[in-house]
Amino acid sequence: MRRLGLVFVAASLIAAAPAHAATLHLAPYDFSPDHATLKVSAQLSVARQVGVSLATRGGKRLGWIVPPSRRSVLAVGWDGRIAGHQVPDGTYEARLVYGSAVLATAPLRIDSHPPELVGLRADNGGSRFAGDNALLSTISPNGDSFRDKLNVTYLLKEPATVTMDVTRTVKVPHVVYTLTAQLPAGLHTMTWAPTPNTNPRTFLVRFTAVDQAGNRIVYGAPNAFVGRAPRGVVARVQGIDAGFGQPSYAPGQLANIHIATDEPALTLRVFHAGPEQVVTYADNQMAGVEIDQAPLTLDWSRWRSTPHSISYRIPDVPSGLYYV
């Protein structure tokens, strides 16, 4: 009886040994063949004829990641191909195989597609200005709580790191504001609240999304070839845009001034450029001497969301360059 007991214990130890004799590790779990090489490592307590195969979640074997060979240690890189063919995106199981036995397993997710920002749309927290649409929003950051900020909302299809870059476009986008967040899948809103001294102009808002597998996508063109990239958002920072209907007028002539702003009231003043004792260096600035005419106050509350034209009688002044 004692001898049988010893044999039984020894047999139990031998049968249990393989469960602890092999390990299999994959890195990273989220694997994009376009951006990384999968690190496959395994270790056995004794050398055996082992290989690493790939199977679906349902158990269907797809082929060898690492063909069988006698080894006790394994460390290789895998490019995401089996028999020369790219393995489709999905969730799989890698198996360390010895003969017909599976010694160890490790999960794997293959993802070769960048994260999507679906339904990208912009708003200013209030009403739209004429011409605004889902990807164009007018803001006027003057502290009156009316169109003071830009909100961009989108549906993120998978967890990703999303960066919003507000850019001033010259030859290439020049970043003036950046916001980065690690976000789960779902609906999200990112906001830009520029300071009141932000110069009126348009800004291209670019979004970069990178998922856990390293796949990357950018919304908004990096140059003038806008058709080569997914469309981004444009923010129009509005001040007071105004222009005459024609380049010159005679004294007493009725002029047409086209104005676009969301200010509730305006004051119209006329300046004569030339006799001023001021030097200007910027091409977007003018200096002059105000003519002898009382300022004209305009109630603009009816046209805060659309351009409007007014008629203005040119005053009786000497020939020269004037601006309103």
Three-class SS of residue 37?
coil
Pairwise CA distance, residues 301 & 263, whole Å: 7
Report, at the CATH architecture level, how domain 241-323 is classified. Sandwich (2.60)
pLDDT value, residue 172: 80
pLDDT value, residue 114: 95
- Please spell the DSSP secondary structure of 192-208, one letter per residue: E---TTPPSEEEEEEEE
* Average pLDDT taken over every residue of the chain: 90
Percent of the chain with pLDDT over 70: 93
228: confidence class by pLDDT, cuts 50, 70, 90: confident
Is the pLDDT reported for residue 297 higher than 70?
A: yes
Percent of the chain with pLDDT over 90: 82
Among 245, 261, 259, smallest CA distance to 309 is for 259
Rounded average pLDDT over 105-110: 96
Same fold, 2-110 and 117-237: yes
pLDDT value, residue 1: 42
Pairwise CA distance, residues 139 & 196, whole Å: 11
Pairwise CA distance, residues 207 & 216, whole Å: 10
Separation of first and last alpha carbons in the chain:
114
Domain extent listing, the chain: 2-110, 117-237, 241-323
CATH number 3.30.420.40 is the correct assignment for the domain at 2-110: no
Is the pLDDT reported for residue 169 higher than 60?
A: yes
170: confidence class by pLDDT, cuts 50, 70, 90: confident
Is the pLDDT reported for residue 238 higher than 60?
A: yes
Give Cα 174 to chain centroid, integer Å: 15
| Sequence-ordered list of residues with C-beta below 8 angstroms from that of 52, at least 6 positions apart, any chain | 24, 40, 42, 64, 65, 66, 74, 94, 95, 96, 97
Among 113, 192, 194, smallest CA distance to 158 is for 113
Considering only residues 143 and 177, tell me which one the structure prediction assigns the higher pLDDT. 177
Is the pLDDT reported for residue 109 higher than 90?
A: yes
Q: Alpha carbon of 70 to those of 22, 74, 104, 129, 282: distances in Å?
A: 14, 10, 16, 72, 76
CATH number 1.10.600.10 is the correct assignment for the domain at 117-237: no
β-strand pairing of 136-139 with 233-237:
parallel
Among 241, 244, 285, 231, smallest CA distance to 140 is for 241
Rounded average pLDDT over 104-126: 95
279: confidence class by pLDDT, cuts 50, 70, 90: confident
Is the pLDDT reported for residue 18 higher than 50?
A: no
Is the pLDDT reported for residue 4 higher than 50?
A: no
Among 172, 131, 177, smallest CA distance to 152 is for 177
2: confidence class by pLDDT, cuts 50, 70, 90: very low
- The structure tokens listed for 63 are 């082929």
Q: What are phi and psi of 48, to 5 degrees?
A: -145, 165
Rounded average pLDDT over 218-223: 87
Rounded average pLDDT over 252-267: 96
102: confidence class by pLDDT, cuts 50, 70, 90: very high
Rounded average pLDDT over 98-116: 95
Considering only residues 92 and 282, tell me which one the structure prediction assigns the higher pLDDT. 92
